[in-house]
Structure 1
Amino acid sequence: MTPNEDRKIREKFQQKTWNEIKTNDSWAIFKIMAEFVEGFERLSKIGPCVSIFGSARTKEDQAYYKLAENIAYELTKSGYGVVTGGGPGIMEAGNRGANRGKGTSVGLNIELPFEQHDNPYIDSDKSLDFDYFFVRKVMFVKYSQGFVVMPGGFGTMDELFEAITLIQTKKIGKFPIILVGTKFWSGLFDWIKNTLLEEGNISPKDLDLISLVDTEDEVLEVIDTFYKKYSLSPNF
């Protein structure tokens, strides 16, 4: 455990004075508010976009990186914008494909002690930095009309289940959630179906919120079908 990690744990057990609460906790509200305001102001004009989630650890020479890049490229060539977490790996691939397709390329970067840094394929006026994960996730779901989820780790799972929960509880519209890579995701999906559903913790119709695919063409088919159902059109 690093000294900083140790400090964060010990701080939770320290009794704070009222002045310390006002100075530290209360002032944090204004920083949170500032992140929300900037996010709302800068993202409200980007138009219909699809979020691409996935691992920051995926390398440029790996198959999923190239697949994510191709998906983003095809999305932008079809008129959709692309939103990613703004960092390396799958996020970089998504912005790279959007940049190659000359479409909207948004990056919502998070300040982390490792892994995360801006990638160079984000539109210069559409790169935002966040300190709070929950503010960043609000921006993902508020300004996305579809979610493409590539293989990833805990962060990707967090974003995936955030989107599923908000759709399931009708807090946002029933936008497509597309898991790319059936080999990677089938174990999780089977667990959802055979454990969560069997235990009665979800409804059978909740399974319909998720699509499993393997190619960029399948991703576009799911997204286009959604738009045609509501007689909508992307950013042409």
Structure 2
Amino acid sequence: MSAPPVIPPEPVTPQTASPTYRLASLDPDFILSPSMRGVRFLLEFAKADEALKAWGVRSTIVVFGSARIHEAGPEPHPRWYAAARAFGALASREGGALLDGGSERHNVICTGGGPGIMEAANRGAHDVGAPSIGLNITLPHEQAPNIYSTPELTFRFHYFAMRKMHLAMRANALVVFPGGFGTLDELFELLTLRQTGKAPPIPIVLFDEAYWRGVINFEAFAAAGMISPHDLELFRFAEDAEGIWRCLLDGGLNPYEPPDWTRGPDLPGW
């Protein structure tokens, strides 16, 4: 077999030294320019999508909750952390994340990838030898990856919108532990998708009813006519890991089937 041809280096001239002469795909100034924002969106979608497909991840259980909760923090932080860890283990063991000889993984724990409740849920999956996903985002604080998400399934996003899409598009269920603004943002994002039919009828479970009723008067929305009384049926409450799992199964979770995002009132799939 003949050797590949030797390509001589190009001469250094004002033309070859110009930024416009760089290959577009190797030009960081161009890729990071405002006109390429759409391309960067596509890159953030495709990179995570390819990795998840390579691992056979067909569906997920998304776990939200505060990054500020610590295992050794003041009560009730340790209780919340322990429950999220226990649920991560239970869902991973029973939900299909371990493959068990199949070719697809279902109900893989998926979190925002950071500390607190996110760490606890990823840790629970790690405890039983299951993979789990961490969808990190570039922030000034609280967003270094925890050490329990599977390294090959740990991602970093610049755009909240694309991160939210990856959180939602494979979700078979949503479990929300106590949290602050970020947790509320994600919760109401999924509730809105469910309310408007943009998401399939996935179960949504809020952990620790006393906390949630203390920070949100859900019934006041309905009393003021801001939501339908039926919208209050979009979510349930649970007080321990086993209770969460029962709520998910009662809410229609099938441990070995992916969510059907093509369902809805004449809405296209994602």
What TM-score, normalized by structure 1, do the two folds share?
0.83
1:202 and 2:227 equivalent?
A: yes
From 237, 241, 245, the counterpart of 1:212: 237
Q: Using the TM superposition, give the Cα deviation of residue 24 of structure 1 relative to its aligned residue in structure 2, in angstroms.
A: 3.6
Instruction: Specify the code of the residue in structure 1 equivalent to 2:69.
Output: T
Corresponding residue number in structure 1 for 2:45:
36
Equivalent residues, number: 209
Structure 2 partner of 1:176: 203
CA contact (8 A) 1:180 1:213 kept: yes
Letter in 2 for 1:30: V
Which structure is larger by alpha-carbon Rg, 1 or 2?
2
Secondary structure at the aligned position of 1:197 is classed as: helix
Q: Can you give the 5+ residue segments of structure 2 that lack an aligned partner in the other structure?
A: 1-30, 73-77, 96-106, 258-270
Give the aligned partner of residue 214 of structure 2: 187
**Secondary structure of 2:152's aligned partner:** coil
Residue aligning to 1:112: 139
Aligned partner of residue 125 in structure 1, secondary structure? helix
Q: Distance in 2 between matches of 1:227 and 1:233?
A: 9
In structure 2, do the counterparts of structure 1 residues 96 and 23 end up closer, same or farther at CA, with 3 Å as the change threshold? closer
Q: CA deviation at 1:174?
A: 1.1
Q: Is the 8 A contact 2:70 2:116 kept in 1?
A: yes
Aligned counterpart, 1:17: none
Q: Which has the higher helix share?
A: 1
Q: How does 1:218-229 map to 2 (within 5 A)?
A: 218-227=243-252
Structure 1 CA distance for aligned equivalents of residues 46 and 34 of structure 2 = 19
Counterpart of 1:233 in structure 2 is 255
Q: For residue 129 of structure 1, give the secondary structure of its aligned residue in structure 2.
A: strand
Give a deviation string over 1:41-78, Cα, whole Å, max 9, x none. Answer: 22343123211100011112222111110111111111
CA distance in 2, matches of 1:43, 1:170: 25
Structure 1 gap ranges (5+): 1-21
Contact 1:78–1:234 at 8 Å: present in 2 too? no
**Given the superposition, is the C-alpha separation of residues 72 and 204 from structure 1 closer, same or farther in structure 2, using an over 3 Å criterion?**
same
CA distance in 2, matches of 1:210, 1:93: 22
Work out whether residues 238 and 247 of structure 2, in 8 Å CA contact, stay in contact via their aligned partners in 1.
no
Distance 1:104 1:223, change over 3 A: farther
Specify the code of the residue in structure 1 equivalent to 2:38.
I
Contact 1:99 1:121 in 2 (8 A): yes
Q: CA deviation at 1:39?
A: 2.5
**1:213 partner letter:** A
Counterpart for residue 53 of structure 1:
64
> Which residue pairs with 2:168 in the alignment?
141
Aligned-residue CA RMSD (Å): 1.8
- Runs of 4+ in structure 1 off by over 6 angstroms are none
1:154 to 181, 189, 200: 181
AA of the residue aligned to 1:168: Q
Structure 1 letter corresponding to 2:222: L
Q: What residue number does 1:90 align with?
A: 117
Specify whether residues 66 and 23 from structure 1 end up closer, same or farther in structure 2 by C-alpha distance, changes over 3 A only: closer
